[in-house]
Amino acid sequence: MTEAIHISFIANDTNAIASIRGKIAIVVGADGTMNVLTRKINTLTEGAVKRLLESKAWAKIKEGEGHVLAFPANLATSAVQVVKLGRSVSAQEARKAGASMAVFRGDEPLTAMLASHSRAADIAHGLALRSYNFNVHKTDTNMILHMVSAMVADPAAVSAEHAPMAALTEGVFFTRDLTNEPANILTTTEFAKRLTDLRGIGIDVEVLEEDALERLGMRTLLCVGQGSRSPSKVVVMRWNGGDTEPPFALVGKGVVFDTGGISLKQAGGMEDMTMDMGGAAVVAGVMRSLALRKAKANVVAVVGIVENMPDGNAVRPGDVIKSMKGDTVEVINTDAEGRLVLADILWYTQEKYNPVAMVNLATLTGAVIVSLGHENAGVFSNNDRFCNQFLKSASAEGEGAWRLPLGSAYDKLLKSRIADMKNIGGRSAGSITAAQFLQRFVREETPWVHLDIAGVTSPGPTTLAPKGATGWGVCALDRLIRDHFET
């Protein structure tokens, strides 16, 4: 797993500033307000910071962005980044400032001089998240994690505030690593192994192999993988940090590679289908974060891990498959495979665990990208209160999410002549009919949110992530659980 940078919180020390090597980042309010450390640097550099604040360049800089003073006089550092950040800023603005510092740092040691800033922990969190670098498959790589220090007025207090954020960073990195891995490395078997390794941090993990899935009647899931040499699996992860209350449930689509099957995709861009397991990766990242921060909640996570390949044994357009629930599905397009995976595991999760609420995630449709681009995930729900709780959590974490409708009028698009339903409804309202299909496998009394994350899984680079997997959803779901499902 990509190792997160370790940030040391140290006490303010104006006497040490002149001899600090590597790089230095400082924060200044939009009105030019300097903290004690920034004033010291301004003095040592003979007013260089003040001159910057009086310049037109500073006026053009937005909150959370910075300007670099290279090789400043009287300092051992190679550069000082002056970041515009007031004291009364949101967590998102503070994390943006930290991300700016991470980009500025590059591969050198960094000292962030935050003094008594009220958002010091959030600045550090943004710095850690943006420092991610997936380079495990590069042969010419400097693997040294250079030191990052943060000078603060109260190191113990800021360190304690940052601790759960550090656990969250670990979960986000786990999600990004899984999503970035090529399919020849992250096979269905390897994916399941990486999830079983979570036992080492206290998560109960069970792997259901194909024979068990056949006995359970998970035929829609199994049909997706029947053209692949890699065995289909369902992995169940349980974090039991609460009392005796029913668990909150997470369900994820884990298609390690999606060719489209017999309904073969176009060649252009197919390499990105290594990320079609992004929903399962987010679920895994949330579970890792919950365990590392010892969340006082009961959470069950179920992911369906398959590979969708064309083969003489692959499911065909026109085949009729019976789901675990008992409903029959006419497969019109084998590239609409994610909903077939989710149908069975959504039903299994409710039958087995009777969750208090349930969220599923999937890179489900290209149609959601047409609707919302790469800024927002599509949100669908059968419960207004639960949906609003999630939307509030996503907003608080700066993870874009937008609710789209469900409704019985869309059911006519899924009508089949020979089965209970088709697996695709045509071009119109593609992301909505996909969600409408999934809703048929959700009990009316189960509060449920479906997240179509096709547009947000890998748009990169973003403010908090380099190009590649973003880890979208880990932070929002962790907050949802923390705010509403912890005892």
pLDDT at position 142: 59
Kind and range of the H or E element at 40? helix 36-44
pLDDT at position 28: 98
> Is the CA virtual torsion 130, 133, 134, 136 positive or negative?
negative
pLDDT at position 1: 87
pLDDT at position 237: 99
Domain 170-484: top CATH class: alpha beta
Question: Choosing from 50, 194, 265, 322, which is the catalytic residue?
Answer: 265
Beginning with the edge strand found earlier in the chain, give each strand of the sheet holding 320-322 in spatial order. Answer: 320-322, 328-330, 421-422
Instruction: Tokens for 213, please give them.
Output: 């899935």
Question: Choosing from 84, 233, 325, 339, which is the catalytic residue?
Answer: 339
* Residue 243 vs residues 247, 291, 292, 388, 482: alpha-carbon distances, Å: 10, 15, 18, 25, 15
Tell me, yes or no, if 427 is annotated catalytic.
no
| Rounded Cα gap, residues 449 and 357, in angstroms | 9
How confident is the prediction along the chain (487 residues), in pLDDT tens digits per residue? 899 999 999 999 999 999 999 999 999 999 999 999 999 999 999 999 999 999 999 999 999 999 999 999 999 999 999 999 999 999 999 999 999 999 999 989 999 999 999 999 999 999 999 999 999 999 876 555 668 999 999 999 999 999 999 999 999 999 999 999 999 999 999 999 999 999 999 999 999 999 999 999 999 999 999 999 999 999 999 999 999 999 999 999 999 999 999 999 999 999 999 999 999 999 999 999 999 999 999 999 999 999 999 999 999 999 999 999 999 999 999 999 999 999 999 999 999 999 999 999 999 999 999 999 999 999 999 999 999 999 999 999 999 999 999 999 999 999 999 999 999 999 999 999 999 999 999 999 999 999 999 999 998 799 999 999 999 999 999 999 999 999 9
pLDDT at position 339: 98
Instruction: Tokens for 146, please give them.
Output: 């250079």
pLDDT at position 422: 98
Q: Which of 247, 243, 229, 237 is nearest to 308 (CA)?
A: 229
Domain 7-157 belongs to what topology? Leucine Aminopeptidase, subunit E; domain 1 (3.40.220)
Q: In the chain, list all ranges with CATH 3.40.630.10.
A: 170-484
* 42 φ/ψ angles, rounded to the nearest 5 degrees: -60, -40
Tell me, yes or no, if 265 is annotated catalytic.
yes
Q: In the chain, list all ranges with CATH 3.40.220.10.
A: 7-157
Strands 79-84 and 23-28, sheet pairing: parallel
